[in-house]
């Protein structure tokens, strides 16, 4: 690459061209914004249950385990007050039920931020707002249409309050946004959501937000246990999978799912957008038709996931982009319907999301080694 520097006297035409270049260059780059994630590992703190410890106790548990990132699915004031001064960074959630009205009314977004975010700063380290959850996984097109408008209104509210330098706006997606994910290089978004996804990605690129995806190898394995090696899904030794297009080898499904997301983003021109896993985990209990759901498999997945994230490395397709993920979830939620009622990870009495003992230096001690043979 060569750089040409001219010391000739600038003409009016040169001045116009240079200004046009600067404008184009500025618009082509994402705005640098806050990093809402410290390190590589965080947890989701869901609370649809009637047997959970108090938020104050949760803070103690998280700090003792050196967990510095959490996501909650609302902006509960009791939780936000409990985390004041904890040093733990929080992403709060703005539920799907807000999208239709807030997308059409910027004032509602401002009111929500002023009520649920601004009063808790700076003591409570709110670093992100997740707008909606798996919106394109629903069949409600009104939600699809309302997502971008709400994202913009929330961002504009933060901007007017001068909070965009510390709070990131995002929206997590399910694997259902993809039409195909295997091999990873074939990753692509569904055609029916493309008009909405393209606009959303463009805005997130402009404000510097990453792409958040809920990646569950467990769900993929459960849907096809006859053809998917469970060892591949659990980060255990296995033959792996080969992507003939990229000539890359995958020894676990988690990395493959992330690279499928990168491939889908690349197809739309956002190959440099970071992918962060907003949820991942493994069911500890399930019905007869829910293959692989067991305490042992959940322990194996979480133990191996934590080891993989601790390496602070990227994926085969994006080796320099360190993988970061939030594990689901901190506790079983006994009032939550469906499969997740049994809990992906947690316990109402124990912080099983870690599934390992931490010594005084925060190192992992596999006292109850979860590997299966």
Catalytic residue IDs: 134, 279
DSSP 66: T
Token match 């769900």: residue? 219
Quickly list H helices, the chain: 12-28, 55-64, 77-82, 99-102, 106-116, 141-160, 194-207, 217-223, 230-233, 253-267, 295-310
Between the CA of residue 117 and those of 73, 125, 284, what are the distances in Å?
A: 14, 10, 34
Could you tell me if 347 and 298 are in contact, meaning their C-beta atoms sit under 8 angstroms apart? no
Instruction: Name which of 42, 89, 33, 25 is nearest 274 in CA terms.
Output: 33
Between the CA of residue 370 and those of 222, 251, 253, 306, 356, what are the distances in Å?
A: 20, 19, 19, 12, 9
Rounded to the nearest 5 percent, the helix, strand and coil shares of the chain are 40, 15, 45
Residue 227 buriedness (CB in 10 A; 0-12 / 13-18 / 19+):
exposed
Instruction: Name which of 145, 65, 68, 128 is nearest 93 in CA terms.
Output: 128
Instruction: Name which of 327, 324, 314, 333 is nearest 356 in CA terms.
Output: 327
| Rounded Cα distance, 321 and 263, in Å | 14
């Amino acid at each position: 690459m060569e750089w040409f520097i001219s010391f000739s006297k600038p003409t009016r035409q040169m001045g116009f061209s240079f200004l046009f270049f600067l404008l184009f260059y500025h618009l082509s780059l994402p705005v640098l914004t806050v990093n809402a994630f410290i390190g590589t590992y965080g947890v989701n703190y869901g609370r649809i249950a009637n047997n959970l410890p108090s938020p104050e106790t949760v803070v103690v548990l998280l700090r003792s385990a050196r967990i510095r990132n959490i996501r909650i699915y609302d902006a509960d004031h009791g939780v936000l007050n409990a985390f004041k001064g904890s040093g733990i960074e929080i992403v709060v959630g703005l539920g799907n039920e807000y999208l239709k009205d807030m997308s059409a009314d910027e004032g509602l977004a401002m009111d929500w931020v002023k009520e649920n975010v601004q009063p808790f700063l700076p003591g409570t380290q709110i670093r992100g707002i997740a707008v909606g959850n798996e919106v394109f996984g629903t069949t409600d097109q009104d939600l699809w249409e309302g997502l971008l408008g709400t994202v913009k209104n929330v961002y504009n509210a933060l901007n007017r309050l001068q909070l965009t330098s510390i709070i990131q706006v995002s929206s997590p997606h399910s694997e259902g946004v993809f039409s195909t994910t295997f091999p990873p290089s074939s990753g692509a978004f569904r055609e029916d959501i493309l008009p909405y996804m393209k606009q959303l990605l463009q805005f997130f690129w402009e404000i510097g937000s990453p792409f958040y995806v809920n990646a569950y190898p467990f769900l993929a394995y459960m849907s096809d246990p006859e053809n998917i090696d469970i060892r591949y899904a659990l980060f255990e030794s296995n033959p792996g999978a080969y992507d003939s297009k990229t000539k890359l080898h995958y020894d676990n499904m988690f990395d493959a799912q992330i690279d499928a997301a990168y491939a889908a983003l690349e197809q739309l021109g956002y190959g440099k957008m970071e992918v962060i896993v907003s949820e991942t985990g493994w069911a500890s209990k399930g019905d007869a038709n829910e293959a692989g759901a067991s305490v042992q498999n959940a322990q194996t997945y979480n133990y191996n996931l934590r080891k993989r994230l601790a390496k602070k490395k990227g994926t085969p397709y994006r080796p320099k982009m360190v993988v970061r993920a939030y594990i689901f979830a901190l506790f079983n939620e006994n009032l939550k319907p469906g499969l997740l009622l049994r809990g992906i990870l947690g316990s109402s009495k124990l912080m099983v999301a870690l599934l390992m003992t931490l010594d005084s230096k925060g190192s992992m001690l596999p006292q109850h080694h979860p590997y299966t043979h």
